[in-house]
Amino acid sequence: MSGAANWMGWTLPTALFFIAIALILTAMGVIQKLAPRNDPRAGVLGIATQRGDRLFLSLLGSAFIHLAWIGLAPASLSLWLATLASVVYAALVFRFA
């Protein structure tokens, strides 16, 4: 790599992150097309949320999970465990929020 592309570390995890975000947004678009009814529902948060709100809460929570993992977990623990925790968190948000 040379030139302007050197400023960012384009590693496999970075590429996987952006691919995952693109796939999530594509899946949300397909779901909206197949099931356009998106009535708000109140879950354990006590606020009415729709699919997009739950996606936002999932992504925001996943960012905090990863930041906490990087800051608090020993370096010997894989970051993939934080990703697994984030997937579980997202599933719980979409089910109960």
Judgement on whether residues 28 and 52 belong to the same structural domain of the protein: no
* 8 Å CB contact between 56 and 90: no
In the chain, which ranges are continuous DSSP H helix? 12-34, 51-72, 79-96
Residue 23 lies in domain: 1-37
Query: What is the C-alpha separation between 58 and 89, in angstroms, rounded?
Result: 7
Domain check: are 51 and 12 in the same one? Answer: no
* Co-location of 49 and 94 in the same domain: yes
Number of domains in the chain: 2
My answer on whether 91 and 45 are in the same domain is: yes
Q: Indicate left, alpha or beta for 22 from its phi (over 0: left) and psi (-120 to 50: alpha).
A: alpha
Residues 23, 55: one domain?
no
Q: Are residues 78 and 32 in the same domain?
A: no
* Domain identity same for 20 and 51: no
Could you report the per-residue pLDDT of 61-89, keeping only the tens digit for each?
999 999 999 999 998 898 889 999 999 99
> Are residues 20 and 46 located together in one domain of the fold?
no
Identify whether residues 58 and 33 lie together within a single domain.
no
Residues 7 and 48 in one domain: no
Which tens digits make up the pLDDT trace of 29-55?
999 999 888 899 888 878 899 999 999
> Which range (1-5, 6-10, 90-94) has the least confidence?
1-5
Angle at 55 between CA 71 and CA 69, to 5 degrees: 10
